[in-house]
A and B are shown apart, each in its own frame.
Chain A
Amino acid sequence: MEKRKIIMDVDTGSDDAMALVMAMLDERFDLLGITAVNGNVEVKLTTMNSLRVVECCDKQDEVKVYKGCDLPIASTLMPWGPQATQMPGFTNPLPHREGTREQSIQVHTDHLPLPVPKIKEEPESAVVFLIKTLLAAEDGEITLVPVGPLTNIAIAMRADPRIIPKIKEIMIMGGGHDVNNSSPAAEFNIWVDPEALEIVLQSGCKITLVPLDATHKCFMTVEESERIRAIGTKPAILIADLVKQRATGYAQMDAEMKALNGAPLHDALAVCALVIPEVLKNVVHVNCHVDISKGIAYGQTIIDQRIRVNPTPKNCYFAFDADKDIFVKWMIDVLEKDKAKRGL
């Protein structure tokens, strides 16, 4: 079977780390590169953390990491806006510079619990790499998997629109309809760079949004993660450690997750959906736009659900639900298979 060519765009990040592990170890993927972006932590750290994960999976000879944009397109330009002033849990505005993260909530940390990487990122910047790689590809050849703010992808499309037909589809972790986290209206990845998603949504590419509505259905409990830990490989232990870290973080802010002793693993679900589409449930073809008006709803993904004679044109697939059992089984299967392949 022909492998699916993907580029991961990440803000690593604990759930990004798991998404990267799965993208590197699931043999159905041909991972062409990892582009890091500002998000959960500043880009210097998301780049470094991505390198850590590559080393953890022993993929340093095959997979290269590129450093992307340090700032969102425009959200931090508004000096009085929340992106540029404060955010609950942070003592400093975006970008989350090293050391500014409140230490009591540890869904993400500045540094992943892995050794300082020996390898370095490539000298080329992420956007230049994206443009070069896509322009050299056939039409519809490459799938993009952005699981952080969409800054790199949006700027690449603006700098060279000839890349757009090269993209097979874009599987995005981001947004929320009934579930949000960074503001009453917005999910973090989109809240960081609302304009970037709006640019991508207007590109005409085939786009699927894997929002919080779906990822919160796909949580993993600490108990389940112990089964993954038992596999015993470095990547499996990393995932188990990160699930535990996330569960501890979520327990401080989410009563439901506290009771379950678990946490959603957002970004990994987008990777799963590429090889097992049925993990996403209630996927609806919708008209979706992002609020960029800089008010209370800045960064909200708005789904047009009005019943109209002339409906607004549909521009993306939106997953309202997901199947937790398929998701957990996929992670275990891939990690088991990787273990067998290494002859352990």
Chain B
Amino acid sequence: MDKRKVILDVDTGSDDAVAIISAVLSKNIEVLGIATVNGNRCVEYTTENTLRVVEMLGVSETVPVVRGCAYPLVATIKRKKPGIPRGHYYQHAEEYKTSGKSIHGDFLDMFPPSTIKEANLNAVSWYIKTLMAAEDESITLIPVGPLTNLAHVFQVEPRTVKKVKEIIYMGGGHLLGNTRPAAEYNVWVDPEAAQIVLESGVRNFIWVPLNATHAAYLTKSDAERIRSIGTKPAEVVAELIEQRIIGYSNYQKVEAPDAAPIHDALCIAAIHDPSVLTDIHHCYAEVDCGGSSCDGETIFDINPGSFEYDKKTPNSYVALGADREKFVNILVGILEGAK
């Protein structure tokens, strides 16, 4: 089988790190490059963290890292979201560092500082160059942070849209939020970007929202099973899962005890086996960009009303559930396969 050609767009990020590791090690995926973006941390940090992961995997020759946008489209000029970009001045940084209970942390401390560099070309120009050189509908995009880079790419060069086979996006939530009651973090950071990408005319837009990623939580015993594989990447993944379990126990408990979602990695698992995503709806979706309490809310019209004028053409797929056992087995399979 031909490998799926994939570009990752990350704000690394502990769960992003697991996504990168599983994508690079997967035998079904060819990673063409990794773009970084402002998100979990400022783009300087997410780029450095991404380089650390790529260096650990030893693929810096074949997988370029390109630095993306430092600011969301409009959220920061509105001055309504203080704390973005999250840098060393992030208000809880000290507390997080000393208590060791953060979900992400500024840097992925299990790795030494990187000795490799990102590419000289910025992410937006790199995307345009790479996509324009590709066949139509040949590239899978897996963005797992705010959609800033891709929004700019489609604004700057709309001819790139038809090169995209599909977008599998970790973001949003159906009546479920995390950073705000109504909004999931990636979309909340840059709602305008999400709306632009959603409405770009891209052929298959697949949402992997919190509803799915929370269903696919991993536990301490899953981490142990992964560690027992015995490779360095497996050890790293196990450690990242455990770090997230501590963070989630402190801030955001999930349904099982001693467990945490590894949001971004679920998108990679979906490439291996689409049936890891469940409860999929083909529906009209929209992102609230109103700038108030619901800024960044994703609205999935899965039960359209009976009024004809309310009915809109479906523009995306949303997975509201996931098969957690399958997810664990896919992760283990990828890590075992790379042994």
The interface of chain A, by Cβ under 8 A from chain B, is 68-71, 73-74, 77-78, 125-128, 131-132, 151, 155, 158-162, 195, 198-199, 202, 292-294
Contacts and interface: CB of A to CB of B under 8 A. Distances in A.
B74 A155 contact: no
A195 B75 CA distance: 10
Given A77-B192, A158-B71, A71 B155 contact: yes
A267 to B, nearest CB: 23
Interface stretch (B95-103, B118-126, B213-221): B118-126
Nearest to B160: A125
Interface string B51-69: 0000000000000000001
A78 B289 CA distance: 7
Contacts of A202: 77
A195 B70 CA distance: 16
A195 B128 CA distance: 23
B122 A159 contact: yes
B77 A159 contact: no
Contacts, number: 69
A126 B157 CA distance: 9
Contact of B74 (A68, A73, A151): A73
22 contacts: A73-B74, A73-B192, A77-B192, A77-B289, A125-B128, A125-B157, A126-B156, A127-B152, A127-B156, A127-B157, A128-B157, A131-B122, A155-B124, A158-B152, A159-B122, A159-B125, A160-B122, A160-B124, A199-B77, A202-B77, A292-B77, A294-B291
Contact of A69 (B69, B124, B155): B155
B195 interface: yes
B196 A77 contact: yes
Contacts of A68: 156
Contacts of A77: 192, 195-196, 289
A74 B124 contact: no
Contacts of A158: 69-71, 73, 148, 152
A128 B155 contact: no
Nearest to B195: A77
Interface string B150-165: 0010011110000000
A182 to B, nearest CB: 20
A273 B126 CA distance: 36
Interface residues on B, range: 20 to 34
The secondary structure that dominates the B interface is helix
A69 B155 CA distance: 6
Given A77-B192, A78-B289, A131-B125, 14 more contacts: A70-B155, A73-B74, A77-B289, A78-B290, A127-B124, A128-B156, A151-B155, A155-B156, A159-B122, A159-B123, A159-B124, A160-B125, A292-B77, A292-B78
Contacts of B195: 77
Nearest to B287: A77
A230 B189 CA distance: 58
Nearest to B129: A128
Nearest to A73: B73
A199 B76 CA distance: 9
A132 B156 CA distance: 14
Contacts of B289: 74, 77-78
Contacts of B157: 125, 127-128
B77 A198 contact: yes
B70 A73 contact: no
A159 B152 contact: yes
Contact of B70 (A69, A74, A125, A161): A161
B152 A195 contact: no
A273 to B, nearest CB: 27
Interface centre among A68, A70, A128 (most CB of B within 10 A): A128
Contacts of A293: 291
A162 B192 CA distance: 24
Interface string B171-195: 0000000000000000000001001
